[in-house]
């Protein structure tokens, strides 16, 4: 027979085991690996560039990661079903900040995308994307909502459309375009009928060329250069050509950490080598093997999100998990795609790897919510036994 103390120890052991089983290791381990990747190469690019970047950027990134882990832990051990409440608050604050950035935003490279707050700088568009995901996911998962009704589709379009146009005005076409796959995936998961999906796809194919005259000149030039980098190889085509060269020159195993020449010698744009073009640095220094490892980590996180979306019985959780998969896929695909010239150059950072406080914090928020959905699903299964 077990003594009281042995029963207590067994009870503690079982509780610990249950807790460990509720952790989504398929998402957590790749998240940590990608964060380590990020700090390493933010540090490396900083040392190669020198000056302020060498001393400060990687330390700031560690601070944001630490804050991100606090948020991740809070969300991971909370019930995600109540996240729609702060989601609406974040949505309202996000819209306010997007309006503020148009008047008082910091102008960098011709665009107002950041707000200077005491002690730090924020990018409101990142929080707006998170708010749109939570808000639309909550709306389409309501029991009385038939997403195939035109007015319900219109409400989703308004929720995503207002921040879309505010971000577009900055101008930041890359961040604005992220709203489209988020809302599209959520509508699909909410069982939008195929005839409506086909109608929207056909409309988009017509609307994209029709929107061309309304693009800024630099945005049009990016499309031209994407189609033909040799059109302007020493100016607008320079970044993409040098990025391709960096990726290709890495070979199988790479040139070694901090041994890449494209960034060191200034061929890659050093102002964004730790953000938009950090994949090019990683590919050159770690080669095909390191690049595939990076891609594998994203694949595992997306697979974990989709698996969670499939196994959870709650519609809100299903929509959130699928939307998180869409966000991570879109950002990683576009960022890596522009580095190897299968996508035009846009200001889309690489999830969990690129330098940036707002982006890192929101990405870890997404994954904290994902962990909460997984944990609640497993707990319900454990309690039903």
**CA-wise closest residue to 291 among 301, 300, 299, 282:** 282
Query: Structural domain boundaries of the chain?
Result: 25-383
What is the band of 261 on the pLDDT scale with cuts at 50, 70, 90?
A: confident
Better pLDDT: 21 or 111? 21
Does this model's pTM top 0.85? yes
Q: What confidence tier does 132 reach under pLDDT thresholds 50, 70, 90?
A: very high
pLDDT of 2: 47
For residue 5, the model assigns a pLDDT of: 53
| Per-residue confidence (pLDDT) for residue 384, from 0 to 100 | 73
The pLDDT value recorded for residue 335 is 93
Cα–Cα distance for residue pair 130/377, rounded to 1 Å: 22
Tell me: the pLDDT tens digits for 312-353? 999 999 999 999 999 999 999 999 998 888 888 887 899 999
Stated length of the chain: 385
Average pLDDT, the chain: 87
Question: Residues 114-122: what's their mean pLDDT?
Answer: 81
pLDDT, greater one: 60 or 13? 60
pLDDT, average across residues 372-385: 86
pLDDT over 50 (residue 300): yes
92 pLDDT higher than 90: yes
Structure tokens at 337: 């795609």
**Is the predicted pLDDT of residue 218 greater than 50, yes or no?**
yes
Question: pLDDT exceeding 70 applies to what percent of the chain?
Answer: 92
Residue 333: count of CB within 10 angstroms of its CB: 16
- Give pLDDT, residue 29: 97
Burial class of 3 by CB neighbour count within 10 A (0 to 12, 13 to 18, 19+): exposed
Compute the distance between CA of residue 110 and CA of residue 125 in angstroms, rounded to an integer: 16
Provide mean pLDDT across the span 191-216.
83
Q: According to the model, what pLDDT value does residue 329 have?
A: 97
Q: Average pLDDT of 68-89?
A: 94
Lowest mean pLDDT among 5-9, 160-164, 249-253, 294-298: 5-9
Residue 246 has pLDDT above 60, yes or no: yes
**What is the arithmetic mean of pLDDT over 240-249?**
86
Lowest mean pLDDT among 41-55, 173-187, 276-290: 41-55
Lowest model confidence (mean pLDDT) among 95-99, 244-248, 330-334: 244-248
Question: Is the predicted pLDDT of residue 110 greater than 70, yes or no?
Answer: no
Q: What is the mean pLDDT of residues 12-38?
A: 87
The pLDDT value recorded for residue 366 is 97
């Amino acid at each position: 027979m077990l003594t009281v103390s042995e029963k207590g120890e067994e009870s503690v052991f079982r509780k610990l085991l249950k807790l460990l089983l509720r952790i989504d290791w398929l998402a957590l381990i790749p998240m940590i690996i990608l964060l380590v990747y990020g700090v390493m190469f933010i540090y490396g690019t900083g040392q190669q560039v020198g000056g302020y970047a060498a001393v400060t950027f990687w330390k700031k990134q560690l601070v944001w990661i630490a804050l991100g882990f606090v948020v991740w832990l809070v969300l991971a051990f909370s019930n995600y079903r109540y996240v729609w409440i702060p989601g609406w608050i974040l949505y309202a604050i996000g819209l306010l900040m997007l309006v503020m950035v148009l008047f008082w935003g910091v102008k960098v490279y011709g665009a107002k995308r950041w707000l200077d707050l005491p002690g730090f700088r924020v990018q409101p568009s990142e929080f707006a994307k998170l708010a749109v995901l939570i808000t639309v996911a909550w709306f389409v998962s309501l029991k009385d909502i038939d997403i195939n009704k035109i007015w319900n589709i219109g409400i989703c379009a308004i929720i995503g459309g207002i921040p879309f146009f505010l971000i577009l005005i900055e101008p930041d076409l890359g961040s604005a375009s992220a709203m489209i796959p988020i809302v599209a995936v959520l509508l699909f998961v909410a069982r939008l009928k195929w005839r409506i999906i086909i109608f929207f796809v056909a409309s988009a194919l017509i609307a994209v060329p029709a929107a061309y005259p309304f693009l800024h000149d630099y945005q049009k030039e990016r499309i031209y250069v994407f189609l033909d980098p040799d059109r302007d190889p020493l100016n607008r085509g320079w970044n993409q050509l040098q990025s391709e060269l960096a990726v290709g020159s890495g070979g199988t195993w790479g040139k070694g950490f901090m041994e890449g020449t494209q960034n060191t010698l200034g061929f890659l744009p050093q102002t964004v080598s730790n953000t938009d073009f950090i994949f090019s640095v990683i590919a050159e220094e770690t080669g095909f093997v390191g690049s595939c490892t990076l891609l594998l980590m994203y694949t595992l996180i997306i697979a974990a999100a989709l698996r969670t979306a499939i196994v959870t019985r709650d519609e809100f959780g299903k929509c959130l998990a699928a939307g998180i998969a869409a966000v991570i896929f879109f950002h990683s695909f576009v960022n890596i795609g522009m580095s190897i010239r299968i996508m035009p150059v846009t200001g889309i950072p690489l999830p969990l790897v690129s330098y940036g406080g707002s982006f890192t914090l929101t990405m870890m928020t997404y994954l904290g919510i994902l962990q909460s959905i997984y944990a609640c699903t497993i707990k319900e299964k454990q309690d039903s036994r």
